[in-house]
């Protein structure tokens, strides 16, 4: 995945295996850093970078380990910001 390239919510849902409705919820409530672009007068699209996708993959993995959503997001951010793999 290229660093400058962005991906639609549908593509990200396919890549990470998380439904679009869940991604929308996570973005609206917990991930304000996800880019939103205006399309037309009223529509808004979310655009995801490679880093955003990696964050979502880690959130999903922590959720599967039994973390609450808030704890999964916190740990995933710490992993990425701390340089852990």
Extents of the domains making up the chain: 9-82
Tokens matching residue 83: 């340089």
pLDDT digits (tens, 9 = 90+) for 63-84: 999 999 999 999 999 999 885 5
Q: Which residue has the tokens 């009223």?
A: 42
> Which of 56, 59, 54, 55 is CA-nearest to residue 72?
59
20 Cβ contact partners less than 8 Å away, ≥ 6 residues apart: 9, 10, 13
Note the CATH number of domain 9-82.
1.10.1660.10
Residues 53 and 17 sit within 8 Å (Cβ to Cβ): no
What pTM did the predictor assign?
0.86
pLDDT digits (tens, 9 = 90+) for 18-57: 999 999 999 999 999 999 999 888 888 999 999 999 999 9
């Amino acid at each position: 995945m290229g660093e400058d390239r962005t991906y639609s919510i549908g593509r990200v849902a396919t890549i990470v295996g998380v439904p679009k409705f869940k991604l929308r919820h996570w973005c609206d409530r917990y991930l304000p850093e996800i880019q939103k672009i205006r399309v037309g007068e009223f529509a808004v699209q979310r655009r995801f970078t490679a880093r955003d996708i990696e964050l979502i993959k880690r959130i999903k993995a922590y959720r599967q380990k039994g973390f609450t959503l808030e704890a999964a997001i916190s740990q995933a951010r710490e992993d990425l910001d701390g340089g852990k793999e």
